[in-house]
Structure 1
Amino acid sequence: MAHLRVLLGRYRGDSALVAYVDHIRDLNADFARMWAEHPATQVRSRAYSLHHPIVGELILHGAAASSPTCADSVCQNSRVRSPVVDVAVGSDTGKRYSANFDVTYLRRQPLLAVLADGMGDGPGSAAAGRTAVDVFVDYVTRAPEPGPDMLRDAVAAAHARVSRIGNELRTLAGCTLTAMVAAPQGCWLVQIGDSRVYRLRDGLLELLTTDHTMAWLGAVHGWYPFDSAQAASARYQLTRYIGHGGAPEPDVLSVTMRPGDRYLLCTDGVSEQVDYGDLHTFLGRDAHPQSVVSDLLAASDAAGGSDNATAIVIRVD
């Protein structure tokens, strides 16, 4: 199952970002408060351009091409201690689009890794990814201890906010959301959409998450081959995502973390363009996570760069 490569297309809208400015004013105040409460290291690098430059300037007060990434900030929940980990994050806009609608948050201790992939390339996409990550992170960092109910509540809060954006902008507003959250016995995985979490353990690369698409269901249940015309059409049909009118629940899984483990969180811009064998090779190298991230993004670009590509790599020592 781990090597099934079920590809997903993306809705591509034509809406102008001008329509987004009014809504950003409200989000800007919320994000400024969260930024003050959870200080973050702003990494200014081309590899960390994680969201649309105009949106970034508005939300981050001029800190475009930066990611809310905190290496060692202290969470309110002091009882949760992650294993010793090294982490890295990076993103590449690719060749097809002029803007990047992938959004991330990464904190090393206690581990909190979150990524979102906006659906489409209009103002709803830009708003959805940024808002979903901000709301989820704010909810989790305020909780006394992470658990399944709290994580589902955090996703529900993100649903509500993103749905409101779609109603206000009168356009598609939706995104995936995938996260790893430190827990007393390991980590919680949170999954909604088709971004992915892989784990390399003892030489075996496993896909820990499920793509919430009709293409995935069709391939798994034998409705059609995953590389068929039917599957190609079904790749555009997400069964669950943030902003969905039915507010579907995420998958929440408990996983252990062992020394030697390598975890990869990635958007479909990586998983669709870098095959299983190359993922295994990159993650299996005795290299710092930042080097692995760079290799993954370079491979995505070399394969065509047809989508925004984002990767978070976590090495457990």
Structure 2
Amino acid sequence: MKLNFTGLSDPGLIRSNNQDAYYIDPDKRFCIVADGMGGHAGGEEASRIASEEIQAYLVENWESSQSSQELLVQALWRANEAILQDQQNYPERADMGTTAVVVIFRDRESPWCAHVGDSRLYRLRNSQLEQITEDHTWVARAIKLGDITFEEARIHPFRHVLSRCLGREDLHQIDVQPLDVKVGDRLLLCSDGLTEELVEQKIADYLQDNSVLEKAAYSLVEAAKAHGGHDNITVAIVAVEEN
């Protein structure tokens, strides 16, 4: 299958710096979105470290005998260890951490995704947008248990509280999954600066209505800013096309 990639990151309208990071490798065919936390310097550093460590590990081991599942798990563990080491070296950043969502397309395997935190992967297929990843947050678990509704979660004061992120000694699991991808699909990786501002139907509309990927990315970011732009906004889009 032929893949087209694009990405865009914006600080939004409230924050003075951008604690998000993204990386796209169109040759190896993978992309990363990370959303840092831990203050002005800490969050920016955490997402940068995660993005750089993940991409470095993937490139170094792309042709190895590791499965895509193993490759992703090890890449995110490496990122977690690098952030922990940085915390030790710079105690002022001891509370920093980051989300990460990664999608890889290796020729000999189906596409795979890994994620930690609440940066998301969506798939748009036949005008229907589906969230593929499951947020590692307090409210996501509360929804699953039936304690709160989806509508209540969108405004809940604990909606930003992560149950899992990179940069923690107590991180014990990396979620990985194979992806069902067909020609005509579009995949969207994004930070919560997008999903906090736009409902899923609006995201689907912008993804579908713009045939040019760069325009779709720009439209999503600008729409999130028009809705308030309270957080950094990052998107990476993959279009699956015929060879």
Give the structure-1-normalised TM-score. Answer: 0.70
Q: Once the 2 structures are TM-superposed, how far is the Cα of residue 139 of structure 1 from its aligned partner? A: 0.7
Distance 1:281 1:290 in 2: 15
Letter in 1 for 2:105: A
Q: CA shift at 1:109, angstroms?
A: 2.7
Residue 175 of structure 1 pairs with residue 98 of structure 2? yes
List per-residue Cα deviations over 1:55-77 (Å, max 9, x = no partner). Answer: xxxxxxxxxxxxxxxxxxxxxxx
Q: Provide closer, same or farther for how the CA distance between residues 109 and 229 of structure 1 changes in structure 2, counting only shifts above 3 A.
A: closer
For residue 133 of structure 1, report the CA deviation from its aligned partner.
0.8
Determine whether 1:194 maps to 2:118: yes
Cα distance in 1 for residues equivalent to 2:8 and 2:83: 24
Larger Rg: 1
| Unaligned 5+ runs, structure 1 | 1-82
- What is aligned with 1:258? 182
1:135–1:232 CA distance, 2 compared to 1 (3 A)? same
1:246-285 alignment to 2 at 5 Å?
246-285=170-209
CA distance in 2, matches of 1:294, 1:229: 27
Letter in 1 for 2:221: L
Partner of 1:297: 221
2:127 corresponds to 1:203: yes
SS of the equivalent of 2:156 reads: helix
RMSD: 1.8
1:30-49 correspondence to structure 2 within 5 Å: none
Deviation at 1:265, TM superposition (A): 0.5
Q: Could you tell me how far apart the structure 2 residues matched to 1:158 and 1:236 are?
A: 22
Asked whether 1:98 is paired with 2:16, we answer yes
* Shift in Å, 1:204: 1.8
What's the offset of the Cα at 1:246? 1.1
Instruction: State the alpha-carbon separation in 2 of the partners of residues 236 and 316 from structure 1.
Output: 32
Q: CA deviation at 1:111?
A: 1.1
**Deviation at 1:296?**
0.2
Match of 2:43 in 1: 125
CA contact (8 A) 1:197 1:266 kept: yes
CA shift, 1:100, in A, is 0.5
The aligned residue for residue 76 of structure 1 is: none
**Alignment identity in percent?**
28
Residue 118 of structure 1 aligns to a residue whose secondary structure is strand
Which residue in 2 is equivalent to 1:43? none
SS at match of 2:206: helix
Amino acid at match of 2:202: D
Match 1:310 to one of 230, 234, 243: 234
- 8 Å CA contact retained: 1:165, 1:173: no
1:19-98 to structure 2, matched below 5 A, reads 83-98=1-16
- In structure 1, the partner of 2:32 is 114
Residues of 1 paired with 2:126 and 2:220: CA distance?
21
Structure 1 CA distance, aligned partners of 2:131 and 2:154?
23
Kindly tell me the number of residue pairs found equivalent between the two proteins.
Answer: 235
User: Structure 1 residue 311: deviation in Å?
Assistant: 0.5
What is the rounded CA distance, in whole Å, between the counterparts of 2:154 and 2:69 in structure 1?
Answer: 35
Which fold has the larger relative contact order, with Cα–Cα distance below 8 Å and residues 6 or more apart in sequence?
A: 2
* Cα distance in 2, alignment partners of residues 230 and 291 from structure 1: 27
Q: Secondary structure at the match of 1:311?
A: strand
Q: Measured at CA, do residues 283 and 231 of structure 1 come closer, stay the same or move farther in structure 2, by a change above 3 Å?
A: closer
The equivalent position to 2:56 in structure 1, one of 103, 119, 138, is 138
Q: Which amino acid aligns with 1:269?
A: G
